[in-house]
Amino acid sequence: MRTDYAIGIHDLSFSTTSLVLSHAELSRHNGTDLAKYHVGIGQRAMSVPTLDEDIVTMAAAAAAPVVERHGTDRVRTLVLATETAVDQSKAAGIYVHSLLGFHPNVRVVEVKQACYGATAGLQFATALVHRDPGQQVLVIASDVSRYDLDSPGEATQGAAATALLVSANPALVEIDRPSGLFTSDVMDFWRPNYRSTALVNGKESIAAYLEAVDGAWRDYSAQGGLPLKDFRAFCYHQPYTRMAFKAHRQLLETCGEAPDDAAVEHAVAATTGYNETVGNSYTASMYLALAALLEGEDDLTGESVGLFSYGSGRVAEFFAGHVRPGYREHLRGDAHRAAVDRRRPVDYPAYRELREQTLPTDGRWHDLPHQTQGPFRLAGIRDHQRVYEAA
């Protein structure tokens, strides 16, 4: 059932880091067969942040083009979703609010539930716009994924931010009702407060993800959702791109369909282009998949797209998006491809040196070297306060 006006994603922009480590370089370091990365997990490279890049600088860089195009007058809420927060109390979005020059009459909040958080923010946003269709909500997903050096998870690291402008009568994708929801308490992936890197139970994580696909779809169907045949393509959370293919096979089996390789390829392949070279961007991942799909060769006007959002621990949601007429006129494909292409390659020793550096915690003033190519940077730490500036 729809309202008398559509609500959904009016604009979508993403950013990533200044550096990139290829999986060819990683395999030279650790001796892993490159096919394990390129074919086994479907990854070719990972974005690596400089010392003066973090979730705030990426979030501001992702949102800046949206603000430039649409302004801030109608934005009454800014939601930033992340699982790599920079502060236990202050919302990272407040820094973004300041960097982008928002007016003060805005609510700013941070949401967390592993990689699912941005979808929670999107659903909060649609409810706010339904209540007042004159306002817009800016939802930003920004994360840097990190695992222990020389661990199996190292090859799936990445970093990116997506900014979604949610409004009535959106230009890109209408968010349809209902949603299929699924939550259960598992320990497939987690990061305690005292750790800077995540802990992963690999087999448990894959099983938990696939069980969530099954559970969320069954709830979606029970709520009166569209049948499988009505969807043109599917965007899945992509901790690594081959996981999206596994997920769609699971969905086909859940629906009693044969998990045919050609059908899976047709439904998923167009969504993997950014994730395979950016790496796992946690909350931003599914929305990078959506960007890749919309910017692809196929005309999706009027088509329904399935969206599956997953956050370890575990929360999942399946919902549908309806692609709007004229959506191609509002895409940012050239800018997105440029953001990916301009990253500077680093060798493994340089990457490892960056990974082993940590920000000071002594409360003194520490200025950081200017390394980013982006428009915003973390300038330093002063009296335990992060100081951001335009680069």
Please count the other Cβ atoms lying within 10 Å of the Cβ belonging to residue 348: 15
CA distance 214 to 230: 18
Eight-state DSSP code of residue 240: S
Which helix (H) or strand (E) element contains residue 201?
A: none
DSSP strands (E only) in the chain: 7-16, 19-22, 45-48, 75-81, 107-111, 136-145, 158-168, 173-183, 189-190, 199-200, 231-236, 304-311, 315-323, 344-345, 366-367, 376-382, 385-390
Q: Please answer whether residues 329 and 205 qualify as being in contact, where contact means their C-beta atoms are separated by less than 8 angstroms.
A: no
Cα 9 to Cα 59, 89, 245, 271, distances in angstroms: 17, 29, 25, 17
CA distance 365 to 10: 41
Q: Please answer whether residues 285 and 237 qualify as being in contact, where contact means their C-beta atoms are separated by less than 8 angstroms.
A: yes
237 is catalytic: yes
b (16+ CB within 10 A) / e for 246-278? bbbbbbbebeeeeeeeeebeebbbbbbbbbbbb
83 is catalytic: yes
- Which of the residues 10, 23, 97, 115 is marked catalytic? 115
CA distance 116 to 114: 6
CA distance 387 to 370: 13
- Which of the residues 10, 23, 97, 237 is marked catalytic? 237
Q: Please answer whether residues 237 and 308 qualify as being in contact, where contact means their C-beta atoms are separated by less than 8 angstroms.
A: yes
- Which of the residues 23, 53, 83, 295 is marked catalytic? 83
Residue listed under structure tokens 């006007």: 301
* Catalytic residue numbers, as ranges: 83, 115, 237
